[in-house]
Amino acid sequence: MMRLADRLAPALLMLMTLVVFVLLYGPLMVPIVSSFFTVSRGAVDWSQPTLSAYVALMANESVLNALWTTLIVGAGAVICSVALGTGIALYYTSPHAKGRAFLQFIIFLPFLMPPIITGLALLIFFRQVEFERSLVTIIIGHTVFVLALVYRTILTRLQSLSESLVEASYDLGASRWQTFRLVLLPNLSSAMVGAAVLAFALSFDETMITLLVTGTQSTLPVRLWAMMRLGFTPDINALVALVLLFTTILCLVAVRFLMPKSAIEGSDED
Amino acid sequence: MSGRVADAATNPGAHVGPSRLAPWLAMLAAYAVPVFFVLAPLTLFLGYSFFSVDQGDIVFTPTIANYVRFFTDPIFLPIFWRTCLLCLAVAVLCVLFAFPVAYFLTTLRGRRRYTLLVLLLVPLLMSYVIKIYAVRSILGGNGMLNKALLATGLIDQPSMLFVFNLNAVLLTLTVLLIPFAVLPIFLSLERIPKALRHASADLGASGAQTFWRVTVPLSMPGTLSAMSFVFVLAIGDFLTPQMVGGQSGFTFGRIIYSQFGTAFNWPFGAALSVILAAVVIVAIRLGGHAERRHGGAR
């Protein structure tokens, strides 16, 4: 009877969810676990665990350089995109704003279009205006890529603020700058921090645009990409494990700042 | 009340509005980067698709030769259709996996729902390259999947069905993109008023009937936008086919990429990208993103 199906359904749902989680997380376990063992002739030697891959990594100059590049690019992209995103969000909500929909459309383009299109367009553009490819071009690429998300996050928060807050501030004689610094900024700060973390995480992983607009330097994902084409080795696995650990932390921090209240509400907050 | 703000802001005499120039400066500041680094490059890119290449030099004379070549050359159109079909298959597979998860999420409450949602979000931010690498280590000739199949005795020698070919691309993209499909479906399921399901049950429908005739139709906007989301992400990807596609797994994205590398024909690559962009726009339209965005903008 139908009753049986009704009773079976929840179990089936849980099973499917479990399968998806195995698909999402299972593959990642392979490099993480094998990073603690040595690989000889393409097969993992499970007999004794070792940290040698991690030690070797610390001495790998090209990886350390790539890490450094990634951090600089990430910081640059975060600063540019948060400043721009906040500015544009403020402009969007101001009564003087012209062509709001158009402006927003341009900002969303790099996010909606495949990264390969954004990357190639920038590549051609930089060549045309004879702008040499360097760290700066990577930062520009990352900034336009993450801008949509940063802008949207900040705008959403800005629009959720009560208008009377700003009106009260003006009524009390505050200047525009004072209103921004003393009223808006404190209310926006958590959205800005969340957006910054999110932007950093996206920049940290960005590969497709970077691959196209980079000069001689490579960021960590681009370096990893080059290493991975050679095969499955302990040093890649160790690097993979570290990067995964780092992005997971970043993601959890971002979620903490950005999760809509409604999602956490009802959960016993600590 | 809001009149007062507008007053204060537009009145040049008030201490709030420094000068008549301010609005123009603000506009310049807001538009500069988007126009200079997004609109200009994309416009130039579109322009490039009408140029040509002669012995390594770009000829800046307008021509539609690149587009003619795409539609007449026997190589490109089949790969283009094959890639579209592949990405459609990825989209369908992702939705099949994501729907039960999204539905399961709606049955949870409080901290459990929150935790599961976060666990689904985390892989979104994990390095794309690493995920491809991880899946490849499972699909390989002596990867986990083959070892497991051998161990269970289902096959007696490593299967090459999913090693460096389009099947591998299909499986890898599906695993990579499932989380992107879960979120839109979850959001649309959550929006269905409970009253509708209760009404259906009150009218004597079984759980299955309610699911198929109330829940599924009402979740269609989310499901379609999930499909278009996944399709767009899959069709723009050139890393996955490059990494797990091998010699036979040639996709449209890979061909575009090669025009800027080995083939060195930027204008032709630009023309192929314009076609890719057109497909993406159609997919987004079909998915109803624009409409949803307006709904969400408020």
What is the tens place of the pLDDT at every residue in A15-44? 999 999 999 998 888 888 888 887 766 566
3-state secondary structure string across chain A: CHHHHHHHHHHHHHHHHHHHHHHHHHHHHHHHHHCCCEEECCEEECCCCCCHHHHHHHCCHHHHHHHHHHHHHHHHHHHHHHHHHHHHHHHHHCCCCCCHHHHHHHHHHHHHCCHHHHHHHHHHHHHHCCCCCCHHHHHHHHHHHHHHHHHHHHHHHHHHCCHHHHHHHHHCCCCHHHHHHHHHHHHHHHHHHHHHHHHHHHHHHCCHHHHHHCCCCCCHHHHHHHHHCCCCCHHHHHHHHHHHHHHHHHHHHHHHHHCCHHHHCCCCCC
pLDDT band of residue B260 (cuts 50, 70, 90) is: confident
CB–CB of B130 and A170 under 8 A?
no
- Is B235 contained in some domain? yes
CB–CB of B44 and A125 under 8 A?
yes
Interface test with A, best of B1, B122, B237 (most A CBs within 10 A): B122
pLDDT band of residue A152 (cuts 50, 70, 90) is: very high
Q: Which two tokens stand for residue A234?
A: 């302990």
Q: Is A175 on the interface with B (CB under 8 A)?
A: yes
Q: How high does pLDDT run on average in chain B?
A: 83
* Burial classification of residue A179, based on how many CB atoms lie within 10 Å of its CB (0-12 exposed, 13-18 middle, 19 or more buried): buried
Q: Is A247 on the interface with B (CB under 8 A)?
A: yes
Q: Is B130 on the interface with A (CB under 8 A)?
A: yes
pLDDT tens per residue across span A111-138: 889 999 999 999 999 988 888 888 999 9
Q: What whole-number percentage of chain B has pLDDT above 70?
A: 90
CB–CB of A250 and B125 under 8 A?
yes
A96: left (phi over 0), alpha (psi -120 to 50) or beta: alpha
CB contacts, 8 Å: B5 with chain A: 95, 166-167, 170
Closest to A185 in 3D by CA, of A205, A152, A163, A157 = A157
Alpha-carbon dihedral angle through residues B278, B283, B289, B290, given to the nearest 10 degrees = 40
pLDDT tens per residue across span A52-104: 888 888 888 888 899 999 999 999 999 999 999 999 999 998 887 888 899 99
Pick B83 or B204 by higher pLDDT. Answer: B83
**CA B146, B150, B156, B157 torsion-angle sign:** positive
Task: Give the pLDDT confidence score for residue B113 in this predicted structure.
Answer: 86
CB–CB of B110 and A98 under 8 A?
no
Residues 49-78 of A with CB under 8 A from B: none
| B200-222: average pLDDT | 84
- Mention the CATH class of domain A69-91+104-258: mainly alpha
| Residue B179 reports pLDDT greater than 60 | yes
CB–CB of B232 and A21 under 8 A?
no
Question: What distance in Å separates the CA atoms of residue B293 and residue B298, rounded to the nearest whole number?
Answer: 9
The amino acid at residue B139 is: L
Nearest residue of B to residue A239, measured between CA atoms: B130
Indicate which CATH number applies to the domain containing B278.
1.10.3720.10
Task: Give the pLDDT confidence score for residue A268 in this predicted structure.
Answer: 41
Task: Give the pLDDT confidence score for residue A5 in this predicted structure.
Answer: 66
- Is B236 contained in some domain? yes
Q: Which two tokens stand for residue B165?
A: 């070919």
CB–CB of B33 and A84 under 8 A?
yes
Q: Is A130 on the interface with B (CB under 8 A)?
A: no
- Is B207 contained in some domain? yes
CB–CB of B175 and A114 under 8 A?
no
CB–CB of B30 and A87 under 8 A?
yes
Question: What distance in Å separates the CA atoms of residue B279 and residue A113, rounded to the nearest whole number?
Answer: 10
- Is B229 contained in some domain? yes
Question: What distance in Å separates the CA atoms of residue A160 and residue A165, rounded to the nearest whole number?
Answer: 11
Interface test with B, best of A32, A92, A124 (most B CBs within 10 A): A124
Residue A163 C-alpha, separation from nearest chain B C-alpha, in angstroms: 8
CB contacts, 8 Å: B113 with chain A: 263, 267
| B206-219: average pLDDT | 83
Pick from B37, B111, B138: which is nearest to A267 by CB?
B111
pLDDT band of residue A3 (cuts 50, 70, 90) is: low
pLDDT tens per residue across span B272-281: 999 999 999 9
Q: Is B134 on the interface with A (CB under 8 A)?
A: yes
Question: What distance in Å separates the CA atoms of residue A89 and residue B2, rounded to the nearest whole number?
Answer: 19
Interface test with B, best of A4, A20, A270 (most B CBs within 10 A): A20
Residue A202 C-alpha, separation from nearest chain B C-alpha, in angstroms: 7
Pick A262 or B211 by higher pLDDT. Answer: B211
CB–CB of B27 and A164 under 8 A?
no
Q: Is B19 on the interface with A (CB under 8 A)?
A: no
Q: How high does pLDDT run on average in chain A?
A: 85
Domain of B196 in residue numbering reads as: 76-291
Nearest residue of A to residue B102, measured between CA atoms: A17
Q: Which two tokens stand for residue B61?
A: 């004379």
Evaluate whether A107 touches B38 at the Cβ level (below 8 Å). yes
- Is B55 contained in some domain? no
CB–CB of A116 and B269 under 8 A?
no
3-state secondary structure string across chain B: CHHHHHHHHHCCCCCCCCCCCHHHHHHHHHHHHHHHHHHHHHHHHHHHCCCEEECCEEECCCCCHHHHHHHHCCCHHHHHHHHHHHHHHHHHHHHHHHHHHHHHHHHCCHHHHHHHHHHHHHHHHCCHHHHHHHHHHHHCCCCHHHHHHHHHCCCCCCCCCCCCCHHHHHHHHHHHHHHHHHHHHHHHHHHCCHHHHHHHHHCCCCHHHHHHHHHHHHCHHHHHHHHHHHHHHHHHCCHHHHHHCCCCCCCHHHHHHHHCCCCCCHHHHHHHHHHHHHHHHHHHHHHCHHHHHHHHHC
Q: Alpha-carbon Rg of chain A, whole angstroms? A: 23
Pick A108 or B22 by higher pLDDT. Answer: A108
Residue A125 C-alpha, separation from nearest chain B C-alpha, in angstroms: 5
Q: What whole-number percentage of chain B has pLDDT above 90?
A: 35
- Is B66 contained in some domain? no
Domain boundaries, chain A: 69-91+104-258
Q: Alpha-carbon Rg of chain B, whole angstroms? A: 25
Which residues make Cβ contacts (< 8 Å) with residue B126, sequence separation at least 6?
Answer: A28, A205, A244, A247, A248, A251
Closest to B188 in 3D by CA, of B226, B152, B149 = B226
CB contacts, 8 Å: B236 with chain A: 113-117
Distance of CA A262 to the CA centre of its chain: 23
Evaluate whether B102 touches B182 at the Cβ level (below 8 Å). yes
Number of independent structural domains in chain B: 1
Q: Is B97 on the interface with A (CB under 8 A)?
A: yes
Q: Is A205 on the interface with B (CB under 8 A)?
A: yes
Q: Which two tokens stand for residue B29?
A: 């500041």
Residue B83 C-alpha, separation from nearest chain A C-alpha, in angstroms: 15
- Is B245 contained in some domain? yes
- Is B162 contained in some domain? yes
Pick B13 or A146 by higher pLDDT. Answer: A146
pLDDT tens per residue across span B23-78: 888 888 889 889 999 999 999 999 999 998 887 778 888 889 999 999 998 889 99
The amino acid at residue A153 is: T
CB contacts, 8 Å: B118 with chain A: 252, 255, 259
Residue A26 C-alpha, separation from nearest chain B C-alpha, in angstroms: 9
ipTM entry: 0.84
pLDDT band of residue B8 (cuts 50, 70, 90) is: very low
Q: What whole-number percentage of chain A has pLDDT above 70?
A: 91
Q: Is B289 on the interface with A (CB under 8 A)?
A: yes
